[in-house]
């Protein structure tokens, strides 16, 4: 499959091609680091690929494409088993595996892989995160906590020190805000991003972005609306991938990339394509759009 990554500063009109490359299968998750570049996971590929800041593609950046396993250690000997989601918190990267049912972590500076979870995780979290067939699982990393969404279970999971901390969502596919924020409902969530004490979730079939404040134990609609509205400037259809950098919110909504300020304001469409697979952003207001290159 052919891909290209488009780079666009949201304050300017011009776009450029950041990188072009080919993979054997589709890309299922991405994450971006300002000093390293764009990391991605390919379906059925037990390794992590890096596109560095110059646009060069480095295969087997972590793990080995030709060898799966759960070996910890330096980047040249470590192995992964069916990674399905990747995220980082600036210093550590985290990889969720849907075969070994493990969460792996590695320092972005030293690239040394360790297993964050073990048998207790398998018993506790496996039933939760992998409780449905073929879920889309997305992740985000805070300072001490990992956050996951599963679009089939309609829940958001908090994992702290390798153990399930708590769950947001009652599992019912609907829009509902409860006084007990853990009992609120999510409807096919397919994007998540952590900022401080807040976690933002793309509540895809409720047409909005939800803000979960763990400190104050509250949940609210941050962007979009679960109700029909004529306010086209603030409308979201089916938001999915979500990235927040320097108080700017980047949202993939169908075939459009939309942006807004974290503290409010109207939602603007800044890029449109029918071939978008994922989006990322850096701290300089640059948007990176990963597209299938069907030309």
Domains detected in the chain? 2-292 (2.120.10.30)
The candidate with the shortest Cα–Cα distance to 15, out of 219, 295, 288, 293, is 288
Helix (H) or strand (E) holding 210: strand 208-213
Q: Collapsing DSSP states into helix, strand and coil, what is residue 40?
A: strand
Give pLDDT, residue 247: 92
Q: How far apart are CA 183 and CA 167, in angstroms?
A: 9
CA distances for 16 relative to 19, 37, 55, 59, 188, angstroms = 9, 16, 11, 23, 33
Helix and strand element counts for the chain (H, E): 2, 25
Q: How far apart are CA 249 and CA 222, in angstroms?
A: 11
Q: How far apart are CA 96 and CA 160, in angstroms?
A: 14
Question: Do residues 157 and 186 make contact, with C-beta atoms less than 8 angstroms apart?
Answer: no
pLDDT, averaged across the chain: 87
CA-only gyration radius of the chain, Å: 18
pLDDT digits over 5-41, tens only? 999 999 888 899 999 999 999 999 999 999 999 999 9
Question: Do residues 41 and 290 make contact, with C-beta atoms less than 8 angstroms apart?
Answer: no
Q: Collapsing DSSP states into helix, strand and coil, what is residue 103?
A: strand
Question: Do residues 132 and 152 make contact, with C-beta atoms less than 8 angstroms apart?
Answer: yes
pLDDT above 80 (res 78):
yes
**Predicted confidence band at 54 (pLDDT cuts at 50, 70, 90)?**
very high
Q: How far apart are CA 259 and CA 270, in angstroms?
A: 7
Interval 214-235 mean pLDDT: 77
Q: Pick 100 or 57 by higher pLDDT.
A: 57
Q: How far apart are CA 8 and CA 5, in angstroms?
A: 10
Give me the phi and psi of 255, to 5 degrees please. -100, 15
The conformation of residue 125, written as its DSSP 8-state character, comes to T
Q: Which long-range contacts (CB under 8 A, 24 or more apart) does 179-185 make?
A: 181/212, 181/217, 181/218, 181/219, 184/219, 185/154
Q: How far apart are CA 289 and CA 17, in angstroms?
A: 10
Give pLDDT, residue 120: 47
Alpha helical stretches, state H, the chain: 119-124, 126-129
Q: How far apart are CA 2 and CA 136, in angstroms?
A: 22
pLDDT digits over 123-177, tens only? 555 566 665 555 577 888 887 788 888 888 888 888 887 677 677 888 888 888 8
Q: Which of 91-100, 207-216, 257-266, 268-277 has the highest mean pLDDT?
A: 268-277
Q: How far apart are CA 277 and CA 288, in angstroms?
A: 11
Give pLDDT, residue 203: 94
Number of Cβ atoms within 10 Å of the Cβ of 262: 17
Tokens representing 120 are 């207790």
Give pLDDT, residue 142: 81
Give me the phi and psi of 119, to 5 degrees please. -65, -35
pLDDT digits over 181-192, tens only? 778 899 999 999
pLDDT above 70 covers a percentage of the chain that reads 89
> How many residues can be counted in the chain?
295
């Amino acid at each position: 499959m052919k891909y290209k990554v488009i780079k666009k500063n949201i304050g300017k009109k011009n776009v450029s091609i950041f990188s072009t490359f080919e993979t054997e299968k589709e890309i299922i998750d991405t994450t971006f680091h300002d000093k390293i570049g764009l990391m991605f996971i390919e379906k059925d590929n037990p390794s992590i690929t890096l596109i560095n800041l110059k646009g060069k593609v480095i295969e087997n950046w972590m793990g080995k494409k030709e060898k799966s396993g759960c070996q910890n250690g330096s980047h040249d000997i470590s192995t992964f088993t069916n990674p399905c989601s990747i995220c980082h918190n600036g210093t550590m990267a985290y990889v969720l595996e849907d075969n070994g049912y493990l969460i792996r972590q590695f320092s972005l500076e030293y690239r040394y892989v360790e297993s964050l979870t073990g048998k207790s995780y398998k018993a506790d979290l496996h039933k939760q995160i992998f409780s449905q067939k073929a879920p889309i699982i997305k992740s985000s990393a805070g300072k001490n906590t990992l956050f996951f969404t599963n679009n089939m279970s309609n829940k958001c999971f908090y994992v702290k020190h390798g153990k399930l901390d708590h769950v947001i969502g009652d599992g019912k596919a609907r829009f509902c805000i409860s006084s007990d924020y853990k009992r609120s409902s999510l409807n096919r969530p397919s994007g998540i991003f952590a900022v401080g004490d807040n976690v933002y979730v793309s509540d895809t079939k409720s047409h909005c972005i939800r803000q979960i404040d763990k400190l104050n134990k509250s949940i609210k609609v941050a962007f979009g609306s679960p109700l029909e509205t004529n306010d086209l400037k603030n409308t979201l259809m089916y938001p999915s991938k979500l990235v927040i950098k320097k108080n700017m919110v980047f949202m993939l909504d169908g075939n459009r990339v939309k942006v807004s300020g974290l503290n409010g304001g109207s939602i603007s469409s800044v890029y449109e394509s029918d071939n978008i697979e994922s989006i990322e952003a850096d701290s300089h207001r640059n948007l990176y759009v990963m597209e299938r290159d069907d030309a």
